[in-house]
């Protein structure tokens, strides 16, 4: 079965790096996710926002990739935020306690502004 | 033994006869100048044989009057004195002497010397003969052993290397050739639609000829089984193939059955082989079907019968090496004893082990096995039926190959299957995640992402449960039980980032259960349905 490989595009919104994730967050997403994270943090910003609005499938391997990204970010002192998670994946982020270590925002504005705020604070 | 000593005696006579001539004055070089004379054969009914055998000393040939062709030959060859070599009453050779060089008669001293020589030479010659006989026997024995080894190799090559894993069934087989390898064989043939063909057969005769006929039978049977469905037609076809080339006085008895593991339905036909037994909850049943052995006559038809093996039932296919084994008093093990043994054990490998131990107790521990012994047992698990009854209706059953990303096929298939139940979105999403993770586990840990090992998915619906069974084909043993993931530990590098699969599965569904049977693992995911209306808890 063909899998739709993850597209991870980095853009800037109000001085915050936003990574738009499109497709499936699974084993094949590793390179795209790591590259996007490297690009998003190259400017030395204090936070990264993950946009899951168009990530239609996240499996346990995908969770592991996000855990890896989060561990990397904590080492670099970068805050990770997320938005656009469906109720189901939001539940999974809570069950796995990912939600305890990254802010899950309701939408992009909250994620970016919240990020701004936390940066200002 | 007579046959072996005779040529030796003949050679001895021939050689000795040349010697007196070597002493002739005109002779210069015995071996090259004179052609070897034909040896003198003393026929068994020639009176000279009895005369020599009873003679206690050297015999004057010229003075002997007997109606004996051998004596006439000796006289014609110029033999003057014959010294019989007798060992333990048997004439084993004769020293023939021509005239003395001095042309005088042999003196009494000469005769005494020759008699002494004969008394010494005869036992020495006998020992030499015995050694030769033994060497010849050893060579014959070695040829025989080599032939048996070839027969064993052929036989073993054509027996199944492994038995199939049939979920819900225990299949076991046992084959032990007699020292003089017989023609037993068994086979298990995977057929389309998941059905399986079972064969037990026996070729008359032993050794290499039996092994060759066995291998031919097996090949023809395998080929026919793939093309034809009815076991009776398969045996008919095999008989037609074998008949023209079957060596005289050889034939093959053979039982062929086709089992549908899903239903327990068995169709079988029998070409004169021992009847299989089925152990059921109501007692022991014989699977009878009429038919002539294979390879005897052309145009044979084979009766076809059917049986259904219920959960808990057990079948024993066997060869006559079991029932025809004898005890030291020459009593046969027999069918009644086999039935009795079968009644005492559930089936499967335990049944084979019990029959073997009963056989050993019957024949005595040191008895040589008279014939090949072959047993195949099929046992339908009881558990399968209980589970089936509790599991209810099958909503979907499908397979997918083990390749990264294929868990989405499982998710889509299950989603379609459960559409009629109307699970609400949170529960459906959770089930989908659990199915995806269980399928990934099966593909990765059970099947090692091998394309030839499919994952099978079964969706079952009963009033109180929705179950999804995910089964791998792994023979890697136990499924891994990873440590409970701890995100903090993972973020701090004390645990690997991975290892979320089983954790998620357990959080997503109400019940999980792992069963391992026959080398396959099934992970069952269950959602409780009591009081669930719109799918919300």
Cβ-defined contact of B437 to A60 (cutoff 8 Å):
yes
Per the listing, tokens 């005595």 go with B364
The answer to whether residues B331 and B206 belong to one domain is yes
Instruction: Report the residue from B405, B492, B500 with minimal CB separation from A63.
Output: B500
User: What is the rounded CA–CA span in Å between residue B251 and residue B245?
Assistant: 11
Q: Which domain holds residue B464?
A: 392-528
Confirm whether B150 is domain-assigned: no
The answer to whether residues B376 and B398 belong to one domain is no
The tokens for B150 are 């070839």
Confirm whether B22 is domain-assigned: yes
Cβ-defined contact of B429 to A86 (cutoff 8 Å):
yes
Confirm whether B537 is domain-assigned: no
Confirm whether B185 is domain-assigned: yes
The enclosing H or E element of A117 equals helix A108-120
User: What is the rounded CA–CA span in Å between residue B42 and residue B40?
Assistant: 6
Residue among B511, B524, B433 nearest B471 (CA): B524
User: What is the rounded CA–CA span in Å between residue A81 and residue A73?
Assistant: 11
Instruction: State whether residue B407 sits within 8 Å of chain A by CB.
Output: yes
| DSSP label of A84 | -
DSSP 3-state of B379:
strand
The answer to whether residues B229 and B350 belong to one domain is yes
The answer to whether residues B24 and B60 belong to one domain is yes
Nearest-5° Cα angle at B97, B91 to B101: 165
Say what angle helices B207-227 and B231-242 make with each other, to 10 degrees. Answer: 140
DSSP 3-state of B373:
strand
Domains and CATH numbers, chain A: 7-120 (3.30.750.24)
The alpha carbon of residue A6 is apart from the nearest alpha carbon of chain B, in Å, by: 13
Residue ending a domain, choose from B330, B350, B380: B380
A-chain residues near B405 (CB < 8 A): 1-3, 26, 28
Task: Give how many domains chain B has, as a whole number.
Answer: 3
| DSSP label of A82 | E
The answer to whether residues B401 and B376 belong to one domain is no
User: What is the rounded CA–CA span in Å between residue A37 and residue A26?
Assistant: 16
Residue among B265, B279, B271 nearest B195 (CA): B265
Residue ending a domain, choose from B328, B345, B380: B380
DSSP 3-state of B252:
strand
A-chain residue closest to B431, CA distance: A88
DSSP 3-state of A76:
helix
Cβ-defined contact of A67 to B429 (cutoff 8 Å):
no
Confirm whether B149 is domain-assigned: no
Confirm whether B145 is domain-assigned: no
Instruction: Report the residue from A27, A88, A101 with minimal CB separation from B487.
Output: A101
State the CATH number of the domain containing residue B59.
3.30.450
B-chain residues near A73 (CB < 8 A): none
The answer to whether residues B97 and B174 belong to one domain is no
Confirm whether B146 is domain-assigned: no
Instruction: Report the residue from B409, B490, B504 with minimal CB separation from A92.
Output: B504
The answer to whether residues B408 and B370 belong to one domain is no
Half-sphere exposure of A108 (CA within 13 A, CB side): 14
The answer to whether residues B322 and B413 belong to one domain is no
The answer to whether residues B373 and B402 belong to one domain is no
Cβ atoms of B435 and B499 closer than 8 Å: no
The alpha carbon of residue B339 is apart from the nearest alpha carbon of chain A, in Å, by: 53
Per the listing, tokens 């904590």 go with A74
Residue among B329, B520, B506 nearest B434 (CA): B506
Global pTM reads 0.46
The alpha carbon of residue A29 is apart from the nearest alpha carbon of chain B, in Å, by: 12
Residue ending a domain, choose from B349, B380, B411: B380
User: What is the rounded CA–CA span in Å between residue B141 and residue B133?
Assistant: 12
- From first to last of the 537 residues of chain B, give the pLDDT tens digit: 333 334 334 344 444 443 444 334 444 444 443 445 566 788 888 999 999 988 888 999 988 999 999 999 999 988 999 999 988 888 888 988 888 888 788 888 988 999 999 989 998 999 998 999 999 999 988 988 888 888 888 888 888 888 888 888 889 999 988 877 778 999 999 888 789 999 999 998 888 888 889 989 999 999 999 888 899 999 999 999 999 988 888 999 999 999 998 888 999 999 999 999 998 877 888 899 999 999 999 999 999 999 988 888 899 999 988 989 998 888 999 998 998 888 878 788 888 999 998 999 999 888 888 888 999 999 988 765 555 555 677 888 888 889 888 999 999 999 999 998 888 889 999 999 999 999 999 998 888 888 778 898 999 888 888 999 999 887 655 556 667 889 989 888 888 888 899 999 999 999 988 877 666 788 999 999 865 444 443
Confirm whether B535 is domain-assigned: no
The answer to whether residues B428 and B511 belong to one domain is yes
The answer to whether residues B82 and B46 belong to one domain is yes
Per the listing, tokens 């291998």 go with B215
């Amino acid at each position: 079965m063909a899998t739709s490989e993850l597209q991870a595009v980095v853009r800037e919104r109000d001085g915050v790096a936003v990574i738009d994730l499109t497709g499936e967050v699974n084993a094949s997403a590793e390179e795209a996710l790591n590259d996007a994270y490297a690009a998003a943090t190259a400017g030395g910003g204090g936070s990264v926002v993950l946009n899951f609005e168009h990530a239609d499938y996240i499996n346990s391997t995908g969770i592991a990739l996000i855990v890896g990204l989060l561990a990397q970010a904590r080492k670099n002192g970068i805050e990770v935020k997320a938005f656009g998670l469906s109720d189901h994946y939001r539940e999974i982020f809570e069950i796995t306690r990912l939600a305890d270590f990254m802010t899950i925002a309701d939408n992009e504005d909250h994620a970016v502004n919240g990020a701004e705020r936390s940066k200002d604070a | 033994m007579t046959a072996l000593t005779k040529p030796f005696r003949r050679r001895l006579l021939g050689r000795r006869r040349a010697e007196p001539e070597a002493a002739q004055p005109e002779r210069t070089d015995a071996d090259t100048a004179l052609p070897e004379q034909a040896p003198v054969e003393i026929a068994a009914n020639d009176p000279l044989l009895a005369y020599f055998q009873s003679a206690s000393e050297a015999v004057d040939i010229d003075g002997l009057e007997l109606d004996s062709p051998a004596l006439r030959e000796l006289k014609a060859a110029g033999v003057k004195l014959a010294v019989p070599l007798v060992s333990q009453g048997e004439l084993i050779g004769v020293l023939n002497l021509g005239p003395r060089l001095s042309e005088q008669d042999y003196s009494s001293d000469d005769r005494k010397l020759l008699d002494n020589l004969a008394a010494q030479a005869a036992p020495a010659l006998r020992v030499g003969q015995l050694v030769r006989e033994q060497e010849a026997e050893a060579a014959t024995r070695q040829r025989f052993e080599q032939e048996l080894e070839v027969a064993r190799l052929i036989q073993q090559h054509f027996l199944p290397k492994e038995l199939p894993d049939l979920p819900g069934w225990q299949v076991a087989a046992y084959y032990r050739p007699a020292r003089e390898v017989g023609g037993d064989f068994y086979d298990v043939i995977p057929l389309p639609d998941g059905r399986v063909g079972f064969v037990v057969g026996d070729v008359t005769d032993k050794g290499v000829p039996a092994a060759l006929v066995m291998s031919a039978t097996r090949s023809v049977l395998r080929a026919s089984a793939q093309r034809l469905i009815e076991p009776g037609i398969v045996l008919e076809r095999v008989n037609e193939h074998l008949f023209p080339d079957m060596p005289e006085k050889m034939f093959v008895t053979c039982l062929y059955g086709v089992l549908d593991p899903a239903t327990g339905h068995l169709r079988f036909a029998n070409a004169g082989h021992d009847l299989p037994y089925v152990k059921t909850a109501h007692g022991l049943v014989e699977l009878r079907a009429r038919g002539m052995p294979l390879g005897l006559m052309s145009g044979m038809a084979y009766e076809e019968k059917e049986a259904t093996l219920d959960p808990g039932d057990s079948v024993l296919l066997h060869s006559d090496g079991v029932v025809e084994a004898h005890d030291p008093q020459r009593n046969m093990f027999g069918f009644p004893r086999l039935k009795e043994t079968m009644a005492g054990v559930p089936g499967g490998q335990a049944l084979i082990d019990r029959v073997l131990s009963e056989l050993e107790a019957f024949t005595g521990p040191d008895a040589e096995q008279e014939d090949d012994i072959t047993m195949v047992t099929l046992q339908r698990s009881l558990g399968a039926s209980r589970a089936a009854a509790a599991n209810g209706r099958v909503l979907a059953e499908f397979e997918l190959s083990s390749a990264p990303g294929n868990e989405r096929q499982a998710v889509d298939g299950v989603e379609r299957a459960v559409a009629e139940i109307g699970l609400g979105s949170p529960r459906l999403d959770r089930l989908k995640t659990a199915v995806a993770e269980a399928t990934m586990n099966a593909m990765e840990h059970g099947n090692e992402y091998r394309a030839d090992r499919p994952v099978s998915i079964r969706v079952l619906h009963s009033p109180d449960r929705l179950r999804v069974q995910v089964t791998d084909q792994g023979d890697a043993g136990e499924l891994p039980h990873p440590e409970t993931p701890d995100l903090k530990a993972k973020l701090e590098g004390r645990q690997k980032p991975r290892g979320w699969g089983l954790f998620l599965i357990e959080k997503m569904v109400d019940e999980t259960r792992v069963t391992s049977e026959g080398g396959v693992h099934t992970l069952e995911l269950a959602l409780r349905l009591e009081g669930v209306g719109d799918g919300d808890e």
